[in-house]
Amino acid sequence: MSNIRICDNSDELSTQAAEFFIETARKATRKTGRFTVALSGGSTPRLLHQKLVSASLDWKKIFFFFGDERNVPPDHHESNFRMAFETLFHPLNIDHANVYRWQPEIGNPLEVAIDYAFRTATFFEGFPRFDLILLGLGSDGHTASLFPQTEALEETSDIAVANWVDKLEEERFTLTFPVINNAEHIAFLVSGKEKAATLKDVIEGEFRPKNLPAQSVSPVDGTLHWFADKAAASLLGND
């Protein structure tokens, strides 16, 4: 059963998501001595990151991964790593040993995916079970870099893959649904009226996972949370 929090605006959404992050991090570090989180890309998480900078957490016990990445170097303006570095890692002086980023600079997309899968599996000593995976929602129903009608949607065992996206004419790198759905907690952050129709289709619509990949996010043994602002949630329940 998913839990939907409808917030007044993107600022309130980020505040609530930050509180959830902090609460989940404290529980995990109490239980296992560490907190493992996969960050989301795109623009919506920026404000969340900025709010987390003032959180009192034992950042040495927090390990950062990325749900997906663009096929660009880490200093490129479209890099999800760069966004997280500027809004979170640098302000908090996070030790780079606590950051597991994709390495698109390796060059060959398949090798980039194999490398990330290997480093992630080594860290988790097996198939990864993240404490928290943060996700966004594209207006086409994609999440992470699991885009409609793409090969990665069919992945049933790999941890990380390179995923060619025709409509973008670019390669993307993404964690797979088996990893996402193996997480203890999953949280979507969805903001803006341009997402309203998609959010309604994903949550209340017919099950069409090839066209709405976000519908395939369903934790096997965990919790699913939606943080949406009023604009994004404006069509929910309207039939």
User: Is 198 one of the binding residues for ligand 6PG (CB under 6 A)?
Assistant: no
User: Is 136 one of the binding residues for ligand 6PG (CB under 6 A)?
Assistant: yes
Q: What does the CA dihedral 69, 140, 228, 16 come to, rounded to 10 degrees?
A: 0
Q: Among residue numbers 53 through 72, which ones bind ligand 6PG (CB under 6 A)?
A: 67-68
Q: How far is the CB of 144 from ligand 6PG (least distance, A)?
A: 5
Q: How far is the CB of 2 from ligand 6PG (least distance, A)?
A: 17
Q: Which of 117/144 has CB closer to ligand 6PG?
A: 144
H/E stretch holding 26 reads: helix 10-32
Q: How far is the CB of 190 from ligand 6PG (least distance, A)?
A: 8
User: Is 14 one of the binding residues for ligand 6PG (CB under 6 A)?
Assistant: no
Single residue of 32, 43, 211, 218 touching ligand 6PG by CB under 6 A: 43
x/- track of binding to ligand 6PG for residues 89-128 (CB under 6 A):
----------------------------------------
Q: What does the CA dihedral 2, 41, 148, 124 come to, rounded to 10 degrees?
A: -70
Q: Which of 36/145 has CB closer to ligand 6PG?
A: 145
Beta strand extents in the chain (DSSP E only): 2-7, 35-39, 62-66, 68-70, 132-135, 160-165, 170-175, 185-190, 223-229
| CB-based contact 84:39 (threshold 8 Å) | yes
- Three-state secondary structure call for residue 223: strand
Nearest residue relative to ligand 6PG (C-beta)? 136
